[in-house]
Structure 1
Amino acid sequence: MLAGEKAAWEKLELRDPYEVAELAEAEYWEDDDVLVLTVFGQAYLVNTAEREIREIGVHDLHLEDTTHLNLLVPLYLASSAPPVPGGRLVKPEALPGGSAFFKGPHELPTEVIAHHFCSTPDRFIEVGLKLGGSRTDGGDAAVVIPTFTKIPVTVMLWLGDLEFPARAQLLLDATAIQLLPLDALWATLVMTSQAMIQVAGSHH
């Protein structure tokens, strides 16, 4: 278990599960002493005592395999706070401290998304819907994916042509920085792109 993961579980253990459930827009099942959190539209059982995360949704996306899920789930719950998405979308670089942070090793995974879906906008939308998302306006195709209930990720795709390559953009609600620090938001965006590629690859 990574150090950050261990710290997130320890922080979560100290919090009142009822308060966490309310603030994270999750549920607390008292009889089983577990939290139920929706990630990508799928329900996950989160057992704080056992430090275990288990998907119980019907689609069985197997997203536990994504690198960041085991860190981000306890961290999102442990960091749960009152702000709710207000609908003002921003580039991650526009968040406080974001312009210095989202570069080099923390570059946003937009090129991966653009490359993968450059000629298949319908597939892009289909994958977004499979991840619990919905269509939205923007680019040649755009989806809002509920990576976490209070941290939706808007993904926009512009198709390439002879003059310009395909490109993608990732946007967050301006309140995201009040719920997770920049490094965790970066991991959330990476996990979202990984989930999109994984779902696209598993349904060819």
Structure 2
Amino acid sequence: MEKTNYRVALDKGWEDLKLKDPANIADVMQVTYLSNKQQFIVPLFNEKFIADCSQQAIYNAADGVVPGIGARMLILHYLTFFESRQEPVRKWVSLKEIPGGGMLFYPAFYKDSIRGLIKAFGHQSALLLECARQIGGQPASFGTASAVFQVFPKIPLGVIIWEGDEEVPANATILFDPSIEHFLHIESVIGVGSYLANKLIKLAVTNSGVDMVPSNNKVNKL
């Protein structure tokens, strides 16, 4: 059963959506709105999800599967948080550089998400590219291995792995376009980074057959 606080947040997301102009949402956030069905079509990685306003339901457009509550919240926040038209600036920053609490929340983000990426890919960085490919990620030229992901139409994320050896510890990071502060509040900025990390870690487990998910990983609600 979904926790009450997540349920309350989800209900608030639907209420916030009612206050927005659907045509403006579609235009600014680069999603499709079907006015006859009261549905948004929202790309998330290499899939598309339906946000049905009349039924207050979100499900995969291809198979009808309802995603986890974390993913549903991210979709609603993407549709509702923005206040004005902004565009990605095509630069990369760490969470620590995102206004509104990025520096404050970074230690927990590192513990819950970055550390899992290091464990999964820090000694087999080529696996990152294989896992990235499966969710639409494109190879990049940073670190030992890296990839860029189009999470939502206006939210790219980057993942970098520096492979470790006997002398140098492995490391990893998740990078954000600075414009993300205009599209999501800081909790959802963290959520979207954790969502990506969790997807990659799960794919690493599937592709390698080794359990690499930290026991304290807290993003499985997504």
Q: Same fold (TM over 0.5)?
A: yes
Query: CA offsets, 1:140-178, max 9 Å, x none?
Result: 011111122211110000111001221111110011111
Query: CA offsets, 1:18-65, max 9 Å, x none?
Result: 11111111101223221000001211111122121111248x9x7824
Change (3 A) 1:193 1:63: farther
Query: CA offsets, 1:78-123, max 9 Å, x none?
Result: 1244111111111110122321232347856111011011232222
Structure 2 Cα separation of the partners of residues 154 and 134 of structure 1: 9
2:49 equivalent to 1:47: no
**Unpaired segments ≥5 residues, structure 2:** 1-5, 209-222
Structure 1 Cα separation of the partners of residues 124 and 50 of structure 2: 34
**1:10-159 counterparts in 2 under 5 A?**
10-57=15-62, 64-65=67-68, 68-80=70-82, 81-96=84-99, 97-104=101-108, 107=111, 109-159=113-163
Equivalenced residues, count: 201
Is the CA contact (8 Å cut-off) linking 2:123 and 2:165 kept in structure 1? no
Structure 2 Cα separation of the partners of residues 137 and 105 of structure 1: 24
Structure 1 Cα separation of the partners of residues 109 and 129 of structure 2: 28
Change (3 A) 1:121 1:103: closer
TM-superposed CA distance for 1:196, in Å, is: 1.2
Residue identity opposite 1:42 in structure 2: E
**Unpaired segments ≥5 residues, structure 1:** none
RMSD value over aligned CA atoms?
A: 2.2
Normalising by structure 2, report the TM-score. Answer: 0.82
